[in-house]
Each structure stands twice: as structure tokens, then as C-alpha cells.
């Protein structure tokens, strides 16, 4: 299968996946919007007695649902606590505007057509059901305060206490036995933990951490058992049932909230899952494509194969950034003020702390695409001269002639003058040049001849193009001659310069010509030259005696 066919199939798959995701997203949004509108239009609150819900009522324009439910709950509780009140006295009184549930002068609730519409029943039918619920709630209220129910509650609490005590004793015994077994079998191995004779973490510290973790889990288990016992005991008595159910809500409420939150966020999570799959697939296609460019299987006009890896990185960052922008609205909690505040906070921190990071990255890509130099080139950056041994987005590493490693930030390179000695040396050759000052009494033709002779004696210099001499300056006391010699490589510039300077000194000494630089004040009585018979005075070595280790001292 060709890359074009693969890309076509991937595009079709991506379009189909995106369509399905958008459909699910819009459906979830419609359902959520409907639920929100229903909840806002029909706010309900429970009417409770002894912590149990009798029925629910809606709010009105002048009376919120919670306040209405509290008023009805107080009336029912007052009637239930009155031993003279008979629940059978409760009756229903119809009027054109409303239906009242009352007992004599004791009013419980007024029902309106809006209340009946909420349950989609007749107003009278709703009144009949609510009146019966009130009677049952009052009967249960009184029954639960009878001696028989109290005896059953005491019995249940006693049994629960015995179970809790037995659980604690058994649990502590099992944990103690398990601790003894682990101490005998596992502790020696944990204490002796080492990695290739390097003790990363003391074994005793690892064992202490495990022991603390075990004790913490044991304490949490005991506290949880006591919490459940307390909740069960409080629920057994009507006077404390509300408190017990509140304790149950404290424990079950967060779990229920998290579960409902996960269920409500399922469409968004499904969209994020599909988005991650599509992004991974697209990135894999791009990676294969740029890998083919890097290997030479695919060729693009005016695009270097060496650019494939950094270009893929840029494309990857762009695709991921686009995916994050698309995914942000569907991240659970992204619409909350806390999430927005954290986003702004981290954005400010990133913008403040990453200025140099971004500058070096941009400079790194600029160096790659401008092709200023490559790994292996001899370059001069500011006052630093060395060989490029590594190029990264943040920094470039150089190795000097003295085998020193210098790390230069890429932003510094972009703001400096860069001299590449290797780029043209491979095709046109590199010109090594040096300047000497010779007095006016020496014929310039002789000086040029001696400089060219020194160039010819220097190994590693190219005969073609031929070396040449330039008269750079006619000074007050001497003429400045510049010798220019071609070489094919910039790898051993320091050694070649040293050999060239040595040959210049030898040639000028042979011909008795004094080198007058760097300073000259007056003509000496004798020329400042070294006779040939003094060239090899102790401890000098003869040319046929190579210095030991000379080759090893050359830094390539």
C-alpha cells in the first residue's frame, strides 16, 4: 500500500470519527440542557419526618421549595408529637383555586394545579395520596417511639457492638500474626536491598516506610468500622435517625457525587478518547512520512533530508496544541472558575519562566533551517573556536583544540558572528594566513620567495591553488607581508599554523633576514637572526628524531 493510499484511508477514518464524535457531543449537550431547564423550572424539596422523606413539593414564585417543605414538615411533626391528635381526622377540602389537606383547624398543605401538573395527575388524586402519606408518616412516628421498637433498637445496637468488638479483636490478631510472619520472612530481604553494590535507599528505611503504611491502613480500617457502627446505631432510634442518615450521607455522598459526575461526563470522556486515538493516528502518519523523507525514500524540492526530524517535531507540537485547544471545553471541570484561575496562573508562570527556553528553541530551529553549520564543522563563535560535536534545540556543544567542551546557548549563537571554517574548505579549500613584518632594506621579492618556500615545506598544504603573498601595509619601519596558503581541511588548523610558523622562522634564519614584528624601535648592530649551526642546540631534537607521542597530541 502506497503512502498516498494510506493517507487517503486515514483521512476518511478521521472524518468519520469526527462526525460520530460531534453527533455524540451535540446529543449530550441537548440532554444536559433539557435536564438543566427541567430542574430550573421544577425545583423540588423533600418533606421529611424523622429524617425520612414523606413526599416532595415544588416551589412557588413567592415561596421557595425548601421553605415550603420545611413549613409542611414542621406541621406534620407537631401533629405527630401531639398524643391527642388522631391521624384519621385528616381530610381533604376542595375549592376552585386549591385543595387543602387539614384536620379541623390544623392545616398541613395546600395543593394547586401546578403541583398536580408536575406529577401529571388530577389535583384531588394527588391530595388523596399525600393525605395517606401524612397519616402513614404520623403512625410510623408514633410506632417508632413505642417500647417495642425501642427494645428492638437496643437489641440491634447490642448485637452491632458485639460484632464490632469481635471484628476489632479478630482484625488486630490477624494483623499482628501477619506482621510477625512478614518480620521473619520479608524484613531481612528488605533490609538487605542493594543495587549493584550501590545502596540507593537504606533497607531499614524501606521497611520503616512499609511498617508505617501498614499501621496507617490498619488505623483507617478500624476508624471506618467504628464509623459504620456509629451510623448504624444512630439510625436505630428515631430521635437520632437524622444524625445517622447524615453520617451515611457524609460517607456515601462523595462516592455518589463522583459516580454521577463520571456518568454525566461520559459523552465528553468518549469524545476525548476518540480525539486521543485520532491524534495518535495522525502523528504516526506524519512520523512515517518524515522518516521516509529522512531516509531518502521520499524527496521534496528544496527540502533537506536533515530537516525531517526537526520538522516532524514542529508538526507534532502543532498537532498536539490544536488537539488541546479542541479538547479543552470537554475536560471535566474546565468551565469552573477554579480551573480557569489555575489555567491563568500556570500561563503566567510559563510566560515568565520560559522566555529563555522559547528563545533558545526558536534559535535552535533557525540554526537547523539556515544551515549555518553541521556536526563535525570547525567554527568560530565569538571568541570560541572549536569543532561542533552536537546540535540540540537549546544548546550547541563545541570541542576546542585543547579538548575542552564548551556549551553555547543557541540564542547566543544567533546574536553572534559565526565563522564556519569547514563549509567551503571541502570544495574550495581553506586559506590559512599569517603576517610578518620585514624591513625596507630586504627586497620584497626575496621576502615573497622565502614565504612561499616556507609554505612549500609545510605538510598538509595544497600546491594548487598556489599560495600567494600580499603586502598588507607599508609601515613606518617595516612592510607587513601576509602569506596565504590553501588547505583542504580545517580539522588541524592549530597544528598547520604551528608548522607554518616554524618553517617561516627557519627560512628567514637561513637567509639571514630579521623578522621585525611585533615591535621595532631602531636598527640593531647585528641582525636578530639565529645561525643555522645553533638551530639544534640542547635540548632540541634533530628532524629525524620524532618527538614521542606527537601523533597522540594532535586533537582531531
Listed range (22-26, 138-142, 175-179, 420-424) with the worst mean pLDDT: 22-26
Residue 61's pLDDT band, with cuts at 50, 70 and 90, is confident
Instruction: State residue 303's pLDDT score.
Output: 78
**Residue 50 carries which DSSP code?**
T
Q: What does the pLDDT read at residue 144? A: 77
pLDDT tens digit sequence for 451-494: 999 999 998 888 888 899 999 988 888 889 999 999 888 878 88
> What pLDDT does 165 receive?
92
Residue 185 has pLDDT above 70, yes or no: yes
Residue 43, pLDDT score: 80
Least confident of 175-184, 244-253, 262-271, 432-441: 244-253
Question: With the CA atoms of 285, 291, 295 and 297 taken in that order, what torsion angle do they form, in degrees rounded to the nearest 10?
Answer: 10
What pLDDT score does 38 carry? 43
Q: Residue 13 corresponds to which cell in the numbers above?
A: 477514518
pLDDT value of position 39? 42
Which residue would you say has higher pLDDT here, 302 or 22? Answer: 302
pLDDT at residue 548 tops 80? no
Mean pLDDT of the residues in the chain: 78
Quick check: 6 pLDDT over 50? no
pLDDT at 199 over 90: no
Lowest mean pLDDT among 30-34, 302-306, 390-394, 442-446: 30-34
Q: Which residues contact 497 (CB under 8 A, 6 or more apart)?
A: 432, 434
- At residue 52 the predicted structure's pLDDT band, cuts being 50, 70 and 90, is confident
**Chain centroid, CA 397 distance in Å:** 26
The segment with the largest mean pLDDT, out of 26-35, 195-204, 332-341, 447-456, is 447-456
437/240: higher pLDDT: 437
CA-based nearest residue to 460, from 425, 500, 419:
500
User: Among 14, 80, 503, which residue's Cα sits nearest to residue 282?
Assistant: 14
Whether residue 281 has pLDDT greater than 90: yes
Given pLDDT bands bounded at 50, 70 and 90, which one contains residue 371?
confident
- Residues of the chain with pLDDT > 70: what percent? 80
- Indicate if the pLDDT at residue 34 is higher than 70: no
Q: Which of 241-245, 296-300, 499-503 has the lowest mean pLDDT?
A: 241-245
Cα 515 from Cα 525, distance rounded (Å)? 15
**Residue 112: band (very low, low, confident or very high) from pLDDT cuts 50, 70, 90:** confident
**Pick from 506, 512, 511: which is nearest to 529 by CA?**
512
Would the pLDDT of 97 be above 90?
Answer: no
Three-class SS state of 19 = helix
What pLDDT band is residue 530 in, cutting at 50, 70 and 90?
low
Predicted pLDDT of residue 41: 45
Nearest to 368 by CA among 299, 420, 310, 437: 310
Lowest-confidence segment of 335-349, 428-442, 449-463, 525-539 by average pLDDT? 525-539
Average pLDDT value for residue range 176-205: 67
Q: Please list, residue by residue across 502-525, b when 16 or more beta carbons sit within 10 angstroms of its beta carbon and e when fewer do.
A: ebbbbbbbeeebbbbeeebeeeee
Amino acid at each position: 500500500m502506497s503512502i498516498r493510499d494510506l493517507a487517503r484511508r486515514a483521512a476518511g477514518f478521521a472524518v468519520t470519527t469526527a462526525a460520530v464524535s460531534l453527533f455524540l457531543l451535540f446529543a449530550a449537550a441537548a440532554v444536559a440542557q433539557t435536564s438543566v431547564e427541567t430542574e430550573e423550572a421544577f425545583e423540588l424539596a423533600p418533606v421529611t419526618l424523622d429524617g425520612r422523606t414523606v413526599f416532595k413539593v415544588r416551589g412557588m414564585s413567592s415561596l421557595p421549595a425548601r421553605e415550603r417543605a420545611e413549613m409542611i414538615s414542621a406541621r406534620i411533626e407537631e401533629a405527630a408529637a401531639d398524643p391527642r391528635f388522631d391521624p384519621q381526622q385528616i381530610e381533604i377540602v376542595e375549592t376552585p383555586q386549591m385543595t387543602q389537606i387539614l384536620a379541623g383547624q390544623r392545616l398541613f398543605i395546600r395543593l394547586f394545579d401546578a403541583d398536580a401538573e408536575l406529577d401529571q395527575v388530577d389535583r384531588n388524586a394527588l391530595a388523596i395520596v399525600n393525605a395517606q402519606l401524612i397519616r402513614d408518616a404520623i403512625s410510623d412516628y408514633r410506632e417508632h417511639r413505642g417500647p417495642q421498637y425501642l427494645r428492638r433498637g437496643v437489641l440491634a445496637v447490642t448485637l452491632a457492638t458485639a460484632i464490632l468488638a469481635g471484628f476489632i479483636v479478630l482484625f488486630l490478631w490477624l494483623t499482628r500474626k501477619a506482621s510477625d510472619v512478614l518480620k521473619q520472612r520479608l524484613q531481612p530481604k528488605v533490609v538487605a536491598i542493594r543495587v549493584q553494590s550501590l545502596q540507593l535507599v537504606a533497607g531499614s528505611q524501606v521497611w520503616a516506610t512499609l511498617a508505617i503504611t501498614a499501621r496507617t491502613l490498619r488505623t483507617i480500617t478500624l476508624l471506618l468500622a467504628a464509623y459504620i457502627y456509629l451510623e448504624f446505631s444512630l439510625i436505630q432510634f428515631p430521635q437520632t435517625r437524622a444524625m445517622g442518615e447524615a453520617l451515611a450521607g457524609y460517607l456515601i455522598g462523595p462516592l455518589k457525587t463522583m459516580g454521577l459526575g463520571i456518568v454525566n461526563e461520559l459523552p465528553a470522556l468518549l469524545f476525548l478518547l476518540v480525539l486521543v486515538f485520532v491524534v495518535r493516528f495522525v502523528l504516526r502518519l506524519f512520523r512515517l512520512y518524515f522518516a521516509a523523507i529522512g531516509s531518502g525514500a521520499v524527496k521534496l524540492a528544496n527540502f533537506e533530508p536533515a530537516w525531517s526530524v526537526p520538522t516532524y517535531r514542529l508538526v507534532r507540537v502543532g498537532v498536539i496544541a490544536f488537539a488541546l485547544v479542541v479538547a479543552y471545553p470537554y475536560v471535566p471541570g474546565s468551565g469552573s472558575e477554579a480551573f480557569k484561575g489555575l489555567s491563568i496562573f500556570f500561563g503566567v508562570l510559563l510566560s515568565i519562566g520560559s522566555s529563555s527556553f522559547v528563545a533558545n528553541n526558536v534559535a535552535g530551529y533557525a540554526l537547523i533551517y539556515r544551515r549555518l553549520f553541521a556536526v563535525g564543522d570547525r567554527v568560530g563563535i565569538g571568541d570560541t573556536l572549536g569543532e561542533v560535536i552536537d546540535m540540540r534545540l537549546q544548546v550547541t556543544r563545541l570541542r576546542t583544540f585543547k579538548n575542552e567542551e564548551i556549551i553555547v546557548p543557541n540564542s547566543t549563537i544567533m546574536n553572534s558572528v559565526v565563522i564556519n571554517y569547514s563549509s567551503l574548505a571541502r570544495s574550495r579549500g581553506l586559506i590559512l594566513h599569517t603576517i610578518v613584518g620585514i624591513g625596507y632594506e630586504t627586497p620584497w621579492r626575496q621576502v615573497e620567495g622565502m614565504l612561499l618556500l616556507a609554505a612549500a615545506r609545510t605538510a598538509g598544504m595544497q600546491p594548487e591553488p598556489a599560495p600567494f603573498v600580499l603586502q598588507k601595509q607599508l609601515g613606518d619601519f617595516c612592510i607587513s607581508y601576509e602569506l596565504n596558503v590553501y588547505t583542504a581541511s580545517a580539522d588541524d588548523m592549530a597544528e598547520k599554523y604551528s608548522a607554518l610558523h616554524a618553517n617561516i622562522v627557519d627560512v628567514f634564519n637561513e637567509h639571514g633576514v630579521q623578522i621585525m614584528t611585533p615591535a621595532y624601535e631602531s636598527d640593531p648592530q647585528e641582525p636578530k637572526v639565529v645561525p643555522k649551526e645553533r638551530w639544534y642546540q640542547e635540548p632540541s631534537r634533530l628532524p629525524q628524531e620524532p618527538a614521542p607521542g606527537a601523533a597522540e597530541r594532535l586533537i582531531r
